[in-house]
């Protein structure tokens, strides 16, 4: 065990995100969680792509690799496969992870290699000054969509489910009490853990999540799900989610008005795949809460473990390898040429 | 073919091939994609190699997986050159063509020399098949083959007859017609069927019925030659073993050699091999070969795309393995940005480009060497990348080792250019002796000492930066694609620092230039009237033509580049010793353009982009045009 403090996980570089950026809060939660969990600096590797959030590795006192746009999951995969003892984190954004890097994210999630992918979703391209992103809301006016976007936004959690992800969680940048434990659980998960962080871009998309974050109104628009707990939410804990009676899907109910009791509500089962799909989509329509917490978690074969089957149990020495190689080369038909063959 | 790099101790000059059908024989098998042509050719090649001949092969198969039968585009062929002398090419012309259907005859008749031998399966020459091929009349009857020696045989029905007592259906029996044919060709070469029988037994040990049928067909073909009175103009070939260096041999193609060589290189560097790749013709066999080395500790990773393949390799290199990725031109194009990242982060990485015809998807199954510009210059920014190229299949193993050595010694990504011909062609290869000084280990020393550690501090000799891998205590640092502050490796947007770092990246190549062997002359004198300068797989035809011309008393030398970037420092001086320097290359003059940018020696380019290697006679013509017939 180390006795590192959160600040020990901060590198000596000045953090250069815009004042008020949601990234600061995520960085702080991360430092705290790593310190609390006794992580070692030298065994922690932070890999990122391109974008505001991808600067994060520079602010970590761990090993870090700020790579190229969208490719962080691939580089992280190579590093983790080469050294399974590393604790590998990928930091990406909605543009980096879901647009230019969508393919890598898809395949990383489906493979289930033991690492954490934290996607900062601010629904905008920040570093390139405010163009719409794949998660921008329809109709959003930006320099590249002066008439408003006509594209349907992508829901990252739903994408992750579609890709076959085995750990899907969602949080809000500034809600350390939700985010901290999620980061911890993601780290503990033996597989690829996908964490979407709803993150405020103070310059180009300020306030897009305000209705979720608002201390007073927020609880009416969000629900933090916990495995085994009934799905109750609201400022007064008077709302809930139940299975649509006689139908298929979820219903948002008021505990007092609709004549339902807590016993009628759904109990969160994080291993229920169909439920995870429904939870991921909640919040897209008015009146629905956005679901935070661990939406889905299911233990499955970890890619690294599976792919190491067949490798030598311990690394071969140079001599052993050359002996094996000589034998392999001779597994084909060989023949001898004598000096006086001619 | 000769063996190994210039540092190899196994090289010996074999006599120059001069007289066809006396020194060497060029055979081509051709038939439908489903006729087992590749297997037939490979077996004859293997058998000839075991007999002690020098061989060169050229598999030529359609891009379609199962092209419709009987069509010209569905013809699969395997050419091989079997020599008592040194054979470096599969041959300009065919001495004996085995055509198992009309389409095969139509497609490859043009390559058969005057009075060459045509072995034809008459059974396949039905009216329908003949018309389908585009012949208006039956070529076996209309006299159009009068300038060849034709041996029409009932190969299919003879095969059926031979297998009658096995109880196999006629359809199943017909599948062995390639073995019947091979039996006959082995007889033609005065070879026994024993090696092939042994191979069949091993190959089909789980299917004894199939093994038995194939062996029976093989023996029947051989016996047919023995007992049948063949036309008097059909004589057997008597090609004695070639005076190869003594030692233990196997045959190897370029892809196999490269995969094994990279593993050996990683091993000698005391590293694990990580191979990240995405399937692409003609590079996929590299992935297949590394995948089979898992028990030896090699990690292969089939990525979701070309970009992920190289990125995973970069990640593995960062974590302390030797990252390698392989592809062909279009895939390399996709990897371009990541190559820049590896240059910026100064990580050891080997990129293998098995070149094929381009641009774009181009000619996937045809060979070309037109990615030289892409290799040397194809990136954003001033992004120097060393480039090396083996000359023939037997050299790929040593080039794999060389790639690992340069990449780790100088902490740099590096590109190896092979091509579709080198990748698929096979040749006898003297197995490496790892106690040979040529294979002396070059273990990598990773950084462990925090005292004075700076991630971007450069060794003045090699220009390598320290390799501090994650997991190492007290050496935590951050790298990335943004410009680095010299020394600390922190992000720097400072102009003066960028100037310095650009120079450092250039100096890395200067350091490599100092460490590579000086350019030597492959054959001929070190000065003279004409130098033929080649690189990559143009080696074979240049070598044959140059040595023949030299025997005729012409002043012609062959110089062959293995290190293309940086160039060997003595190259300019060497080339300036010749009146003329001509570069035959399978592109539109790329090496010539590169050299013109680098040195003050006039060079001329001769281009051939026909999806195949140069022919010897094409090179001979270059020599003749340059020197005159009698010079």
DSSP structure string for B368-422? ----HHHHHH-SSSS----EE--SSGGGHHHHHHHHHHHHHHHT-EEEEEEEHHH
A324:B305 CB<8 A? no
Alpha helices by DSSP H, listed for B237-354, are 254-268, 284-291, 306-318, 329-345
For B168-196, the DSSP string reads --HHHHHTTHHHHHHHHHHHHTT--SHHH
User: Which of B270, B303, B311, B339 would best serve as a mutation to test chain A binding (most A beta carbons within 10 A)?
Assistant: B311
Element (H, E) at A117: strand A115-121
Are the C-beta atoms of residues A84 and B299 closer than 8 Å to each other?
no
CATH number of A6-229+268-304: 3.40.50.970
Closest in A107, A322, A342 to B304, CB measured: A107
Among candidates B420, B369, B367, B433, which has minimal Cα distance to B393? B420
Closest-CA residue of chain B to A57: B478
DSSP SS3 for B55: strand
The per-residue pLDDT for range A238-289, each reduced to its tens digit, is: 999 999 998 889 999 999 887 899 999 999 999 999 999 999 999 999 999 9
pLDDT at B101 over 80: yes
Q: Is the sign of the CA dihedral A157, A163, A164, A165 positive or negative?
A: negative
Suggest the residue from B48, B198, B308, B432 to mutate for an interface test with chain A (most A CBs closer than 10 A): B308
Whether the CB of B477 is below 8 Å from some CB of chain A: the reply is yes
Kindly list the distances between the CA atom of residue A34 and the CA atoms of A47, A73, A188, in Å, as whole numbers in the listed order: 16, 21, 11
User: Do A329 and B318 lie within an 8 Å CB cutoff?
Assistant: no
pLDDT at B530 over 70: yes
A-interface mutation test, from B86, B195, B250, B296, most A Cβ less than 10 A away: B296
DSSP state of B273: E
What pLDDT is recorded for position A110?
98
In angstroms, the CA A286 to CA B333 distance is 46
Beta carbons of B315 and A312 less than 8 Å apart: no
Q: Residue A82: which of B307, B321, B337 has the nearest Cβ?
A: B321
| Number of Cβ within a 10 Å radius of residue A86 | 22
- The number of helices, as runs of H, and strands, as runs of E, in chain B is 20, 21
**What does the pLDDT average to over A196-209?**
96
Q: Is B488 on the interface with A (CB under 8 A)?
A: no
CA distance B95 to B237: 11
Is-contact A278 A250, C-beta < 8 A?
yes
CATH pick for B250-439 out of 2.60.40.10, 3.40.50.970, 2.160.10.10, 3.40.1190.20: 3.40.50.970
Strand order in the sheet with B521-523: B521-523, B556-561, B528-535, B578-585, B604-607
Would the pLDDT of B9 be above 80?
Answer: no
CB-nearest to B319 from A86, A311, A324 is: A86
B12 band by pLDDT with thresholds 50, 70 and 90: low
Instruction: Say yes or no for a CB contact (<8 Å) between B49 and A65.
Output: no
Instruction: Select from A75, A325, A337 the Cβ nearest to the Cβ of B311.
Output: A75
Task: Give A-chain residues touching B320 at CB under 8 angstroms.
Answer: 82-83
Q: What is the pLDDT of residues B208-247, one digit of tens each?
A: 999 999 999 999 999 999 999 888 888 999 999 999 888 9
Tell me the per-residue pLDDT of B147-171, one tens digit each, with 9 for 90 and over.
999 999 999 999 999 999 998 998 9
Contact in structure between B455 and B465 (CB atoms under 8 Å): yes
Helix (H, G, I), strand (E, B) or coil at B560: strand
Taking the CA of residue B242 and the nearest CA in chain A, the distance in Å comes to: 6
Judged by average pLDDT, the poorest of A293-297, B128-132, B410-414 is B128-132
Is B477 within 8 Å of A338 when comparing Cβ atoms? no
What pLDDT is stored for residue B8 in this prediction? 38
Closest alpha carbon within chain A to B479: A65
Which residues of chain A neighbour B319 with C-beta distances below 8 Å? 45, 78-80, 82-83, 86
Look at A321 and B247 and tell me if their CB atoms are within 8 Å: no
Cβ atoms A28, B458 nearer than 8 A: no
Residues 6+ apart with CB under 8 A from B229: none
The chain B residue lying nearest A338, using CA atoms, is: B246
pLDDT at residue B629 is higher than 70: no
Cα atoms in the 13 Å half-sphere on the side-chain side of B422: 37
A281 CA: distance to closest CA in chain B (Å): 27
Cβ distance B46 to A333 less than 8 Å, yes or no, reads yes
A318 CB-contact burial (10 Å; exposed 0-12 / middle 13-18 / buried 19+)? middle
Q: Which of B46, B250, B318 sits opposite A65 (nearest CB)?
A: B318
**Distance separating alpha carbons of residues B420 and B370, to the nearest angstrom:** 12
Q: Is B526 on the interface with A (CB under 8 A)?
A: no
Whether B308 has its CB under 8 Å from any CB of chain A: the answer is yes
- Interface test mutation site (partner B, options A335, A336, A340, max chain B beta carbons within 10 A): A335
Closest CA to A85 of B473, B305, B187, B556: B473
| Smallest CA–CA distance from B298 into chain A, residue | A311
Query: Distance of CA B170 to CAs A126, B24, B70, B75, B177, Å?
Result: 71, 37, 19, 23, 11
Region B435-462: mean pLDDT is 97
Of A330, A321, A244, A229, residue with least CA distance to A288: A244
Please report the pLDDT score of residue A2 as a whole number: 53
Which residue ranges does chain B devote to CATH 3.40.50.970?
250-439
Picking from A77, A318, A337, the nearest residue to B245 by CB comes out as A337
CA distance A251 to B343: 55
The H or E element that residue B504 is part of is helix B495-515
**How many CB atoms are located within 10 Å of the residue B408 CB?**
28
Q: Which of B333, B327, B375 is nearest to B353 (CA)?
A: B327
- Cβ contacts of residue B33 below 8 Å, gap of 6+? B61, B62, B64, B65, B66, B67, B69, B74, B75, B76
Residue of B440, B474, B431 whose CA lies nearest to B455: B474
Query: Is the minimum CB–CB distance between B276 and chain A shorter than 8 Å?
Result: yes
Per-residue pLDDT at A109 exceeds 70: yes
Q: Which of A86, A322, A336 sits opposite B471 (nearest CB)?
A: A86
Rounded distance, CA B532 to CA B550, Å? 12
CA-based nearest residue in chain A for residue B256: A329
Q: Is B10's pLDDT higher than 60?
A: no
CA–CA min distance A339, chain B (Å): 5
- Name the closest residue on chain A to residue B195, using Cα atoms: A333
A341: confidence class by pLDDT, cuts 50, 70, 90 = very low
C-beta of residue B349 within 8 angstroms of C-beta of residue B377: no
The 3-class SS string of B89-100 reads CCCCCEEEEEEC
* A104 contacts B195? CB cut-off 8 A: no
Determine, for residues A83 and B305 on separate chains, whether the beta-carbon distance falls below 8 Å.
Answer: no
Q: What is the mean pLDDT of residues B464-475?
A: 98
Average pLDDT, chain B: 94
Residue B109 has pLDDT above 90, yes or no: yes
User: Between A and B, how many residue pairs show a Cβ–Cβ distance under 8 A?
Assistant: 225
DSSP A250-285: EEEEETTTTS--GGGSPBP-TT-HHHHHHHHHTTSS
Q: Using pLDDT thresholds of 50, 70 and 90, give the confidence band for residue B69.
A: confident
The verdict on B293 touching A (C-beta cutoff 8 Å) is yes
Residue B68 has pLDDT above 90, yes or no: no
Tens digits of residue pLDDT in B243-297:
988 899 999 999 999 999 999 999 999 999 999 999 999 999 999 999 999 999 9
Fold classification of B2-227 is Pyruvate-ferredoxin Oxidoreductase; domain 3 (3.40.920)
- Residue A256: per-residue pLDDT: 82
B380 inside 8 A of chain A by CB: no
Per-residue exposure over B517-555, b if at least 16 CB sit within 10 Å of its own CB, e if not: eebebbbbeeebbbbbbbbbbbbbbbbbbbbbbbeeebb
To the nearest 10°, the Cα dihedral for B344, B347, B352, B356? -10
**pLDDT value of residue B6:** 44
Q: Nearest chain A Cα to B469, which residue?
A: A63
pLDDT at B430 over 70: yes
Q: Does B83 touch chain A (CB under 8 A)?
A: no
Whether the pLDDT of residue B630 is over 60: the answer is: no
Whether B598 shows a pLDDT value over 90: the answer reads yes
- Across the interface, whether the CB atoms of B320 and A83 are under 8 A apart is answered yes
CATH 3.40.50.920 holds for B521-627:
yes
* Cβ-defined contact of A83 to B471 (cutoff 8 Å): yes
CA-CA distance, A226 to B216, in Å (whole number)?
71
| Cβ partners under 8 Å of residue A305, min gap 6 | none
- Chain A contact present for B611, CB below 8 A: no
Q: With beta carbons under 8 A apart, name residues in chain A contacting B292.
A: 328
B194 lies within 8 A of chain A by CB:
no
For residue B223, the model assigns a pLDDT of 97
Segments making up each domain of chain A, as ranges: 6-229+268-304, 236-265
Predicted confidence band of residue B3 (pLDDT cuts 50, 70, 90): very low
């Amino acid at each position: 065990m180390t006795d590192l403090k959160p600040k020990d996980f901060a590198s000596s570089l000045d953090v250069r995100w815009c004042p008020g950026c949601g990234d600061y809060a995520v960085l702080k939660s991360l430092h705290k969680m790593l310190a609390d969990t006794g992580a070692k600096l030298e065994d922690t590797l932070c890999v990122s792509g391109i974008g505001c959030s991808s600067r994060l590795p520079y602010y970590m006192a761990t090993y870090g690799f700020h790579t190229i746009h969208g490719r962080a999951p691939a580089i992280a995969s190579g590093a983790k496969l080469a050294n399974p003892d590393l604790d590998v984190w990928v930091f990406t954004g909605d543009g980096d992870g879901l647009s230019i890097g969508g393919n890598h994210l898809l395949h990383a999630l489906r493979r289930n290699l033991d690492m954490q992918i934290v996607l900062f979703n601010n629904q905008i391209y920040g570093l390139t000054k405010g163009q719409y992103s794949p998660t921008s809301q329809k109709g959003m006016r930006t320099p590249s969509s002066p008439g408003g976007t006509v594209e349907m936004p992508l829901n990252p959690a739903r994408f992750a489910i579609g890709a076959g992800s085995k750990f899907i969680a969602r949080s809000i940048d500034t809600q350390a009490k939700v985010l901290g434990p999620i980061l911890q659980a993601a780290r503990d998960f033996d597989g690829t853990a996908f964490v979407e962080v709803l993150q405020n871009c103070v310059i180009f998309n300020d306030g897009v999540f305000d209705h979720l974050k608002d201390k007073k109104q927020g609880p009416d628009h969000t629900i933090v799900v916990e495995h085994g707990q009934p799905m109750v939410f609201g400022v007064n804990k008077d709302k809930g989610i139940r299975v649509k009676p006689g139908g298929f899907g979820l219903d948002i109910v008021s505990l007092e008005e609709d004549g339902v009791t807590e016993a009628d509500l759904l109990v969160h089962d994080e291993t229920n795949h169909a439920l995870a799909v429904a939870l991921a989509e909640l919040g897209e329509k008015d009146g629905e809460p956005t679901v935070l917490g661990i939406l889905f978690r299911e233990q499955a074969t970890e890619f690294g473990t599976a792919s190491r089957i067949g490798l030598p149990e311990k690394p071969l020495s140079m001599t052993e390898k050359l002996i094996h190689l000589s034998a392999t080369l001779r597994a084909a038909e060989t023949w001898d040429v004598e000096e006086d063959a001619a | 073919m000769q063996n190994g790099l210039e540092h190899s101790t196994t090289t010996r000059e074999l006599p120059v091939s001069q007289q066809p059908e006396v020194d060497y024989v060029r055979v081509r098998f051709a038939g439908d994609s489903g006729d087992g042509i590749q297997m037939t050719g490979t077996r004859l090649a293997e058998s000839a190699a075991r007999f002690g001949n020098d061989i060169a092969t050229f598999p030529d198969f359609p891009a379609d997986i199962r092209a419709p039968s009987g069509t010209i585009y569905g013809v699969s062929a395997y050419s091989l050159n079997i020599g008592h002398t040194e054979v470096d090419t599969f041959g300009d012309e065919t001495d004996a063509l085995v055509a198992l259907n009309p389409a095969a005859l139509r497609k490859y008749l043009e390559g058969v020399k005057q009075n060459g031998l045509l072995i034809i399966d008459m059974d396949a020459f039905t009216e329908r098949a003949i018309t389908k091929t585009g012949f208006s009349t039956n070529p076996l009857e209309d006299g159009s083959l009068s300038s060849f020696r034709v041996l029409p045989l009932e190969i299919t029905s003879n095969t059926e007859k031979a297998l009658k007592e096995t109880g196999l259906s006629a359809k199943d029996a017909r599948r062995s017609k390639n073995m019947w044919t091979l039996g006959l060709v082995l007889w033609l070469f005065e070879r026994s069927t024993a090696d092939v029988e042994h191979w069949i037994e091993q190959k089909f040990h789980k299917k004894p019925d199939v093994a038995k049928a194939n062996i029976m067909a093989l023996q029947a073909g051989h016996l047919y030659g023995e007992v049948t009175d063949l036309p008097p103009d059909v004589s057997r070939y008597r090609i004695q073993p070639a005076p190869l260096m003594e030692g233990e041999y196997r045959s190897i193609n370029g892809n196999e050699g490269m995969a094994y060589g990279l593993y050996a290189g990683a091993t000698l560097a005391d590293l694990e091999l990580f191979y990240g790749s995405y399937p692409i013709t003609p590079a996929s066999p590299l992935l297949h070969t590394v995948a089979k080395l898992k028990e030896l500790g090699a990690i292969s990773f089939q990525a979701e795309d070309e970009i992920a393949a190289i990125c995973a390799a970069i990640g593995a290199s960062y974590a302390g393995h030797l990252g390698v990725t392989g592809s062909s031109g279009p895939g390399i194009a996709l990897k371009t940005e990541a190559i820049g990242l590896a240059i910026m982060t100064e990580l050891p990485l080997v990129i293998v480009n098995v070149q094929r015809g381009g641009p774009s998807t181009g000619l996937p199954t045809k060979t070309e060497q037109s990615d030289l510009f892409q290799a040397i210059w194809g990136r954003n920014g001033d992004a120097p990348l060393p480039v090396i190229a083996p000359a023939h299949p037997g050299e790929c193993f040593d080039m794999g080792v060389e790639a690992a050595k340069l990449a780790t010694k100088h902490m740099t990504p590096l590109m190896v250019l092979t091509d579709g011909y080198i990748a698929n062609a096979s040749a006898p290869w003297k197995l490496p002796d790892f106690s040979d000084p040529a294979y002396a280990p070059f273990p990598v020393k990773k950084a462990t000492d925090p005292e004075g550690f700076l991630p971007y501090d450069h060794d003045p000799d090699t220009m390598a930066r320290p390799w501090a891998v994650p997991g190492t205590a007290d050496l935590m640092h951050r790298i990335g694609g943004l410009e680095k502050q010299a020394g600390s490796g922190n992000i720097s947007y400072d102009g003066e620092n960028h100037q310095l770092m650009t120079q450092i990246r250039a100096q890395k190549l200067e350091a490599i230039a100092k460490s590579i062997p000086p350019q030597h002359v492959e054959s001929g004198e070190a000065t003279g009237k004409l130098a033929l300068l080649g690189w990559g797989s143009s080696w074979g035809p240049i070598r044959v033509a140059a040595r023949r011309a030299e025997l005729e008393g012409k002043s012609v030398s062959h110089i062959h580049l293995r290190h293309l970037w940086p160039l060997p420092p003595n190259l300019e001086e060497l080339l300036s010793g010749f009146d003329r320097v001509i570069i035959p290359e399978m592109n539109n003059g790329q090496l010539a353009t590169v050299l013109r940018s680098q040195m003050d020696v006039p060079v001329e380019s001769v281009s051939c982009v026909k999806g195949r290697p140069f022919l010897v006679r094409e090179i001979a013509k270059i020599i003749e045009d340059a020197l005159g017939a009698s010079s």
